[in-house]
Amino acid sequence: MKNALLLILSLAALPCIAQQQEGRPAYCDDIPVMYDKSAARPALPKFATAPVAEYKVQVAILKFSHPKDYPFHRSLVARYRPCEQVWVVESRESFRKRSEAEKLQQELIEMGYSGAYLIEILGYE
């Protein structure tokens, strides 16, 4: 009886363990220190672009669940943030005009995503 109970508990904990074993990129733990006097890191490539403000609508941040378990609206996507180990559910498109993002935000709120909010991102052109 004791072994059966132990087996059941082990199987129940397996999905939680499997979800937490998703690897984290090295840059999560190897954050550069400001004002470090060590050798300079290689610079990122530079392009002849200019930053442009764009907007997205976020509706959820999932820490202990997976987006495949929820039927989100087709205008949304989920992306995994490995350093924070969370899924962010947000609009598939980004919008140049804040008013367009606010329109989608209102539509999502009317559909039941009461926590929908705008975030500003930078695009490059």
pTM for the model stands at 0.69
Dihedral over alpha carbons 27, 57, 108, 69 (to 10 degrees): -10
Condensed to tens digits (0 to 9), the pLDDT of residues 85-114 reads 999 999 999 999 999 999 999 999 999 999
Look up tokens 């490995």; give the residue: 82
Q: Which residues pair with 121 in a beta bridge?
A: 54
Alpha-carbon radius of gyration of the chain: 21
- The two three-digit tokens of residue 6, written as one number: 């132990």
Local structure of residue 82 (DSSP, 8 states): T
Q: Top-level CATH class of 51-124?
A: alpha beta
Q: Where in the chain are the domains?
A: 51-124
* Alpha-carbon gap, residue 123 to 110, rounded angstroms: 28
Query: What pLDDT is recorded for position 32?
Result: 62
- Separate counts of helices (H) and strands (E) for the chain: 3, 4
